[in-house]
Amino acid sequence: MSDSEVHLTRVAAARWRLALLLTAAMTVIYVGFILLIAFNKPLLGTVLMPGLSLGILLGMLIIIIAWVLIMVYVRWTNTHYDHRVADARRTRQEGR
């Protein structure tokens, strides 16, 4: 395996790690929310202030979290991953 291949494998592994971590985070948060609905309805019905229940607050937060997770992934891949893949490509072409 050439240096560039090793380099590419490393970048690739880093991206999959982040991707799986973010996917797992979203799954845990969302399934957790569904389980709360299933197991403890009264808790989510707790009125925090007039008009705002815990359930509505968490629901809005999940929409925002989904967006933040995507931004984390896109920013990391745009700034780090793309450059490192491009580097690996360049080394490979020079090595030819």
Structure token pair of residue 73: 């992934």
44 forms part of the interface with another protein (CB under 8 A):
yes
71 forms part of the interface with another protein (CB under 8 A):
yes
Near another protein by CB under 8 A: residue from 3, 20, 28, 90: 20
Report the C-alpha gap between 64 and 44 in whole angstroms: 18
DSSP string, 35-70: HHHHH-HHHHT-EEETTEEHHHHHHHHHHHHHHHHH
Neighbouring C-alpha atoms within 13 Å toward the C-beta of 80? 13
**What is the separation of C-alpha 40 from the centre of its chain, rounded to a whole number of angstroms?**
27
76 forms part of the interface with another protein (CB under 8 A):
no
Near another protein by CB under 8 A: residue from 2, 59, 79, 91: 59
> Least distance to another protein from the beta carbon of 1, Å?
11
Give the footprint of another protein on this chain (CB under 8 A). 8, 11-12, 15, 18-20, 22-23, 26-27, 29-31, 33-35, 37-39, 41-42, 44-45, 47, 49-53, 55-56, 59-60, 62-64, 66-67, 69-71, 73-74, 77-78, 82, 85, 88-89
